[in-house]
Amino acid sequence: MNQAQAVVSVAAELRLFLRPGRRSAPVAVALDGTSSLGHVVESLGVPLTEAGRLLVNGEPTAPGYRPRNADVVMVEAVRRPQLAPARFVLDVHLGTVARRLRLAGVDAAYVKLSPVAKAAVAPVLPPGTRRTYQTFSSCRNCGQVYWHGAHSKRLEQIIDSAVRAVSTGANG
């Protein structure tokens, strides 16, 4: 006797949760007769908090439904309102948050910092920094000098990689 199966299609926005080999086509899932639809979806890697409507054979269905042989399941993404890009103004004590938001591409103004000419801060720079870096900022209140350190390129690569992974998962 053949094992009962359902075919599950996952919305493009949710495919990043699936194993790489399962991202491009509907997935055949073996059914045990006791697992709920919610369990089946989560067993594929899609958190129910990210799943929107669940359709079985074209009809909206609750996560508690027990899939049957030959069911065709569609997992839609949660509908979220389309918002304008977020913009933030951060106070002086949130510098780390500002830097991390900027790395992620979020418009985050950090007002206690101002661009400063290298010549103006050269006397307080370590020799290696003075030789290597050209762009600096300083705090208007305390005069502390800041620059993009050696780690900034690596952090930008990490962010770029994450953005590509999300884009590829959502589109492929």
For 137-172, the pLDDT digits (tens) are 888 777 888 888 777 778 778 877 877 877 776 554
pLDDT of residue 80: 78
Q: Which residue has the higher pLDDT, 46 or 109?
A: 46
- Output 35 or 153, whichever has higher pLDDT: 35
Whole-number mean pLDDT of the chain?
Answer: 86
The per-residue pLDDT for 92 is 63
**DSSP symbols for 83-135:** -PPPEEEE-GGGHHHHHHHHHTT-EEEETTEEEE-HHHHGGGS-HHHHHH---
CB 14 within 8 A of CB 77: yes
Residue 117: predicted pLDDT: 95
Question: What's the pTM?
Answer: 0.50
The residue among 136 and 95 whose pLDDT is bigger is 136
H/E stretch holding 152:
helix 151-171
pLDDT at 47 over 70: yes
Residue that is written with structure tokens 């569609």 in the block? 74
Domain 5-77: give its CATH superfamily: Beta-grasp domain (3.10.20.30)
Positions of CATH 3.10.20.30 in the chain: 5-77
Helices 151-171 and 95-103, packing angle to 10 deg: 50
CA angle 99–104–106, rounded 5-degree value? 80
Neighbours of 165 (CB within 10 A): 11
Predicted pLDDT at 82? 66
Beta-ladder partners of 115: 137
